Amino acid sequence: MLEYIIIAIYAFACLTALLYPKIAVLWFWPLVICHPSWMLLGLLPMNAGFDDLFLACLFTGSLIYSGGRLQNAKPVVFAVLFCVIAVFGDLSTIALGTDLGTDWSVKLWLKNSGLMLFVFAVCATTTDLKDIRKLTYSFIIGTTIAGIFIIFYSVSPGSYNPFQAPYWARGIEEWEYRDIGPFAMADEAGGMLGFAVLLCYFLIRFDKGKFNKTIIIVISTFLLIGLLLTGSRSGWIFVLFPVMLSSLLSKQKILGFFLLMLIAIAIFISVSKFEFFSKRVEQTVTQFSGGSFSSATAGRTDIWIEMLSKPKISWLLFGEGFGVMQGVHTHSNFIAMLKNTGLIGIVFWFILYWNILKKAFWLMKNDPDTRMSALFTAVFWAYIGYFAFFLPSTPMMWPGVRFADFFLMALIFLRYRQVEIEAEYAFEEDLYQTESELNQITNAG
């Protein structure tokens, strides 16, 4: 029964995406974040799921709605470049004779194509600041639903989890394994929830508009509890670091010093006392050295040293792509940029994030709409936390977190272009008014 209900929901969403893409784009986050993983099990060609079908319909509807005109083309260009670099990385791996893992690569190419379609839809349907605000709230609502599911399936682990593939599909021996709500792994959940928590925190702190802060606080509570239950230490680094840094740079220095001390203590405990070994870290370290390690954190440093001490010729151009990620996981996005996208990829990421931070900072200081200024203050600091998240995690490889990254980037470029257009119109109006005044003076004389 549940399967038919979910299929009906996605069928209705696909129809709406074709007819009313401006409305359907607001459903993206609740639908994609809460997409059951078992619906990827061969129900559609190329292992596609109903989330991919929804994206295809959303792109088609947006293309018809806009006539191919974009409010700002740069986000789409950056999404396309990312996908091209990833494909060239996989091709360079094949050229060097390394086993690629074709099935995994096809799945990643499919998700990357979905990234391009989604960014196009956002840039085609977002026409004013109200659209930007609605899209931001849709992201927060989607991640809040995810946080609620994480809470529910954490406190009642024996209940049926629709986000987990049925036992007959995964195998009886894997029946005990449970995904944490909509996410497949803890740090991926930490990345998605980290973005949402920071947006809520800075909106509460800086937005002076007439919105119900009580609702935002309640939403933040679900997000924080969900983040806590994931057990993602990387997610807490994501959240605490920008809050600490922004507090130290403001009048809230006491909070900043408290969080700085808390982060220092957490790092000390994590390095010296943390005894929980993630299976992925343990497997990777054993693969490299065959030896033991004192903690999961120490295991990560072993991986980083081993990775950087054995450079490969493929890193000079497009890297190794993402098709080889199942074999070795770097546990650092900075190293993953070099390994998976090469020096060309590093240049791409530098240009992308330089543009993001520069424009977000400008909007934070100069946006004429105070609520937009508060929103992009939140986005700016969310990206600062995201870079801290880069150190122990590889969000570049996770479609959900990557979608959130490019989504917020698109909002920055769209709003920046809106402000430019508003300034151009204001300048033209000033010129027209000055010309009218001069004509009146001339006629009077």
CA 375 – CA 404 distance, rounded (Å) = 15
Q: Give the model's pLDDT for residue 259.
A: 80
Q: Name the maximum alpha-carbon separation found in the chain.
A: 95
- pLDDT for position 97: 67
Is 186 within a domain? Answer: yes
Domain that holds residue 60: 2-273+311-444
pLDDT per residue as tens digits for the range 154-208: 777 666 677 766 555 555 454 455 567 777 778 888 999 999 999 999 998 888 7
- The answer to whether residue 116 sits within a structural domain is yes
Helix axes 186-206, 129-155, angle to 10 degrees: 130
Instruction: Concatenate the DSSP letters of all residues of 286-299 into one string.
Output: HHHHS---S-HHHH
CA distance 128 to 96: 48
3-class secondary structure, 180: strand
Structural contact between residues 101 and 324, judged by C-beta atoms closer than 8 angstroms: yes
The pLDDT assigned to 77 comes to 95
- Give the span between the Cα atoms of 264 and 44, in whole angstroms: 48
Considering the domain boundaries, does residue 190 fall inside one?
A: yes
Could you give the number of structural domains in the chain? 1
User: Residue 285: inside a domain, yes or no?
Assistant: no
- Beta carbons within 10 angstroms of residue 437's beta carbon: 10
In a domain, 329, yes or no: yes
User: What's the pLDDT score for residue 179?
Assistant: 64
The pLDDT tens digits along the chain (445 residues) read 667 788 888 899 999 999 999 999 999 999 888 877 666 555 555 556 788 889 999 999 999 999 989 999 999 999 999 999 988 888 887 777 666 666 667 777 777 888 999 999 999 999 999 999 999 999 999 999 989 988 888 777 666 677 766 555 555 454 455 567 777 778 888 999 999 999 999 998 888 766 677 888 889 999 999 888 887 888 888 999 999 999 888 888 888 888 888 777 766 666 555 444 444 445 444 544 445 555 556 667 777 887 888 788 878 888 888 776 555 678 889 988 988 889 999 999 999 999 999 999 999 999 999 889 999 999 999 999 999 999 888 888 888 899 999 999 999 999 999 998 888 766 555 555 655 655 666 666 5
Residue 183, beta-bridge partner list: 180
Q: What is the DSSP secondary-structure string of 203-228?
A: HHHH--SS--HHHHHHHHHHHHHHHH
State the pLDDT at residue 231.
78
Radius of gyration of the chain, Cα coordinates, nearest whole angstrom = 23
Whether residue 305 is contained in a domain is answered as no
pLDDT given at position 343? 92
Q: Is residue 108 part of a domain?
A: yes
The predicted model scores a pTM of: 0.86
> H or E element: which one contains 42?
none
Q: Is residue 296 part of a domain?
A: no
The whole-number pLDDT of residue 280 equals 42
